[in-house]
Structure 1
Amino acid sequence: MSTFMPRTVASLALALVLAACGGAGESTNETANEAAPAKGGEEGAGGGHADEGKVTLSADQIAAAGIQLGRPTLGGSGTIELPATIEGDPQGTQVVSAAIGGRVVSLTRNLGQSVGRGQTIAVIESREAAQLKGEVEASRARLALANSNLAREQRLFAQRVSPEQDLIAARTAATEARIAYQQAQSQVSAAGGGGGGLNRLGIVAPIGGQVIARPVVLGQTVAADAELYRIANLGRVSLALNLKPEDAGRVKPGNTVMVRAPGREASARISFVSPALDPQTRQVPVIATLDNRGGQWRVGEPVTASVQLSGTGGAANAAILVPTTAVQTVEGKSVVFVRTATGFQATPVTLGDAAGATVIVRSGLTGREQIATTGSFTLKAEIGKGEAAHED
């Protein structure tokens, strides 16, 4: 996380600084004089060595070595940065499919073109379409005949020529014919409707928007339920995120997400936090909604998202962030060098996600410590030098 410096060079630089420090020096950032000067005796007042992660340095030596001090950022909320993908709004995206199998004889829209709700965008030609439309015509004729018989029976009953039971039978037949006609119309409507000839059905757009997919070509024979188009209302898009469970617990609907891509930046809002882990990634799916009326974001585009984390009550649960330059790896563990009365103590920490030039510390710090924000690699090198001396 910090700038690379060979251990031998760093150790030599610190040794020269420690040897040259005879007078007072000024510390940078927060003053190092808050801590007591190094003890004398076996540790030595003018030098330092590592003892179980300890580095003994005086305030003057710290200042002369260019080690800067600071405190972790502690607040009710923090942010994490992670990759994300722009997706169509699930509530504004719809697949247009063929309800019957047949041959595609017309496609009226291409990729990227706009379409209005209810517009015919494809025509399917098939024998099934002919059967559906034929049933509509037949049921219409039966309904007309049933209505004619009912009118005649009503006249005869009024003239006391026909018995009432004939009138009831005619009324029942007319009702059944009307139901059959409505059912046939519904079947054609469910399959599409229109389309011109008796053997053709038109497929209409269920929503208005833009065509973002068209997997078929003109003249292709398709099966029932085959996808013809995918239409999306891109005035609003979604951001697909995957968070670690411990981070998802601090994300709520309404939290802000800053979305960045080369030359663009916008603000989104968390709209959904899944209550279950994804079985494959073992992470929590999260969806944010992003205004796209300007058309600057494209479906499938990779972006960087900075997610705002919510505090969960009190400073103990607040986000603790330290500069990435403050973190080193010692014996396979991440450590931060905490200022002590006699120098520094390498304190093991558990890290979370990076947030720009900082990283979240999940455990190991309280947020009130004074730490080495820069120059931590020099302290790490001093620990290594001390360990080598003990081995000798």
Structure 2
Amino acid sequence: MTVIERATTAIRIRDGRSKFMAGGAALALLAGLGGVLIGRSMAPEPVARSAEAPAAEAEEGEEHGPEGFIPMTPVQLATNGIAVERVSSGSILSEVISQATVTAPPEGQALVTARADGAITRINKRLGDPVGAGETIALLESREAAAFVAERNAAAARAQAARAAAAREQRLFNAKVTARQDLEAAVAARQTAEAELQRAEAAVRTAGVTGDGRYLAVRSPIGGRITEVDTQLGAYVAAGAELFNVSNPNSIQVEAAVPVPEAQRLQPGDRAVVELPGGGIVEARVRSITPSADAQSRAVGVVLQLSGAPGGLRQGQAVRTRITPSNSEVTGIILPEDAIQQIEGRDTVFVQVKGGFQAVPVQIGQRSGGRVEILKGLQPGQAVVSRGAFALKSQLGASEAEH
């Protein structure tokens, strides 16, 4: 073999080794990729968990709501005894706080009396029973019932005779038998008789005479409930005697006793608030102010007209009122001291939002008479917890501890 042939053979051997090594590297690369793919296909669950974890955490955050939020349904609100008050602008120094009494307006109370002398033979209602307007409460046996009926019957007979006489005179006048003055006299007599009949019938209805003409019905002029009974079965009563007292529980007003210096700042139409015994408030307006002070209490009577008929108020009940003069200076929002809670060293109130309550930090000002002035953090018209805020604070602390 020549030198040239040996050199050519060596070059071919080196080329074959290079191709073999390249093929081996390619096979190793394919094997590595296949192992990765096989590994992924054999273990998909950890990858799925890692993708779903952020979504689960987001859902958990939505359930808990924002920081300081307490979810609460209307049923839980009533069960926990939480009262909500819609706030408005005012000044703690201008509020007129006074004691008051729930009373009945003139149209909300009636005194039922006997219309004639007689004996009580039937009582249809007891103390506390409901009664409708015009409903018969009792029956009174009276001789005057027969007198009313007899007078009505006599008036009816006179009216009938007068009508007949007037008709006869009309026929005679048409036949030119009698003069016009005779006809006019007959017509006047008929009109007088008919007026007497109307008076007698009105007396029978007013006295409450029953159909048989023996009893007088004692009727209630308004609807409501029997609040007082001053008679008993078989008692003989005189005309004008007080028998029953009827009150309409849905028709009430509030009479506040205001000192003279404070009353001089008030005028009809001023905004007022009545604090309910079980918590909460009801809005009202000043309806009238008495021109003179009471001789014993030295206070001026201020009548408040309530907005609607709230439950929990009864006639004769004592309440507390807060009246804001219309010409008072507005410096902030006034709330009860119980509405302010210390949370993480900050004064906080609970504002009602959709689905519950949100803790809102506020800046307070002056305090007076169990009231506190809110300078910043609230807006007029917001609904704020005025009673039961401590329970919400405790619930908020427990919820944060769990998280």
Q: In the alignment, what sits opposite 1:150?
A: 166
Does structure 2 retain, via aligned residues, the 8 Å contact 1:277–1:285? yes
Q: In the alignment, what sits opposite 2:258?
A: 243
How many correspondences in the alignment? 252
Q: In the alignment, what sits opposite 1:172?
A: 188
Aligned-residue offset at 1:138: 0.7
Residue 229 of structure 1 aligns to which amino acid in structure 2? F
From the superposition, tell whether residues 254 and 95 of structure 1 become closer, same or farther in structure 2 (CA, over 3 Å): farther
Q: In the alignment, what sits opposite 1:125?
A: 141
Residue 209 of structure 1 aligns to which amino acid in structure 2? G
Q: In the alignment, what sits opposite 2:283?
A: 267
Q: Deviations over 1:56-88 (max 9, x none)?
A: xxxxxxxxxxxxxxxxxx947533444322222
Aligned-residue offset at 1:144: 0.8
Take 2:118 and 2:226, find their aligned partners in 1: how far apart are those partners? 22
Greater C-alpha radius of gyration = 2
From the superposition, tell whether residues 311 and 132 of structure 1 become closer, same or farther in structure 2 (CA, over 3 Å): closer
Q: In the alignment, what sits opposite 2:127?
A: 111
Q: In the alignment, what sits opposite 2:381?
A: none
Take 1:116 and 1:295, find their aligned partners in 2: how far apart are those partners? 21
Residue 287 of structure 2 aligns to which amino acid in structure 1? S
Q: In the alignment, what sits opposite 2:296?
A: 280
Q: Deviations over 1:75-116 (max 9, x none)?
A: 475334443222222332222222222222233222333222
Residue 218 of structure 2 aligns to which amino acid in structure 1? I
Query: Which secondary structure state, in structure 2, belongs to the residue aligned with residue 276 of structure 1?
Result: strand
Aligned-residue offset at 1:272: 1.9
Take 1:258 and 1:302, find their aligned partners in 2: how far apart are those partners? 11
Give the TM-score normalised by the residue count of structure 1. Answer: 0.56
**Percent pairwise identity:** 31
Match 1:230 to one of 226, 230, 245: 245
- Report which structure shows greater RCO (CA 8 Å, sep ≥6): 1
Aligned-residue offset at 1:139: 0.5
Take 1:259 and 1:219, find their aligned partners in 2: how far apart are those partners? 45
Q: In the alignment, what sits opposite 2:370?
A: 356
Residue 96 of structure 1 aligns to which amino acid in structure 2? V
Take 2:286 and 2:263, find their aligned partners in 1: how far apart are those partners? 11
Take 1:255 and 1:294, find their aligned partners in 2: how far apart are those partners? 17
Take 2:143 and 2:270, find their aligned partners in 1: how far apart are those partners? 52
**Unpaired stretches in structure 1, ≥5 consecutive residues:** 1-73, 322-353, 359-392
Does structure 1 retain, via aligned residues, the 8 Å contact 2:252–2:309? no
Query: Which secondary structure state, in structure 2, belongs to the residue aligned with residue 207 of structure 1?
Result: coil
Aligned-residue offset at 1:314: 6.1
Aligned-residue offset at 1:132: 1.9
From the superposition, tell whether residues 231 and 125 of structure 1 become closer, same or farther in structure 2 (CA, over 3 Å): same
Query: Which secondary structure state, in structure 1, belongs to the residue aligned with residue 101 of structure 2?
Result: strand
Aligned-residue offset at 1:286: 1.4
Q: In the alignment, what sits opposite 1:306?
A: 321
Q: In the alignment, what sits opposite 1:141?
A: 157
Take 1:257 and 1:293, find their aligned partners in 2: how far apart are those partners? 14
Aligned-residue offset at 1:172: 1.9
Match 2:235 to one of 220, 227, 244: 220
**Unpaired stretches in structure 2, ≥5 consecutive residues:** 1-89, 335-367, 373-403
Residues 1:258 and 2:265 are matched in the alignment: no
Take 2:124 and 2:245, find their aligned partners in 1: how far apart are those partners? 14
Take 1:100 and 1:109, find their aligned partners in 2: how far apart are those partners? 20
Residue 233 of structure 1 aligns to which amino acid in structure 2? N
Does structure 2 retain, via aligned residues, the 8 Å contact 1:107–1:122? yes
Query: Which secondary structure state, in structure 2, belongs to the residue aligned with residue 236 of structure 1?
Result: coil
Q: Deviations over 1:301-324 (max 9, x none)?
A: 223x13123264669xx99x9xxx
Query: Which secondary structure state, in structure 1, belongs to the residue aligned with residue 246 of structure 2?
Result: strand
Q: Deviations over 1:142-168 (max 9, x none)?
A: 111111122222222222333433322
Aligned-residue offset at 1:140: 0.6
User: Over aligned residues, Cα RMSD in angstroms?
Assistant: 3.3
Does structure 2 retain, via aligned residues, the 8 Å contact 1:117–1:205? yes
Residues 1:90 and 2:110 are matched in the alignment: no
Q: In the alignment, what sits opposite 2:175?
A: 159
Take 1:213 and 1:202, find their aligned partners in 2: how far apart are those partners? 18
Residues 1:184 and 2:200 are matched in the alignment: yes
From the superposition, tell whether residues 266 and 312 of structure 1 become closer, same or farther in structure 2 (CA, over 3 Å): closer
Q: In the alignment, what sits opposite 2:211?
A: 196
Aligned-residue offset at 1:135: 0.6
Residue 322 of structure 2 aligns to which amino acid in structure 1? V
Take 1:212 and 1:291, find their aligned partners in 2: how far apart are those partners? 24
From the superposition, tell whether residues 291 and 114 of structure 1 become closer, same or farther in structure 2 (CA, over 3 Å): farther
Take 1:165 and 1:240, find their aligned partners in 2: how far apart are those partners? 64
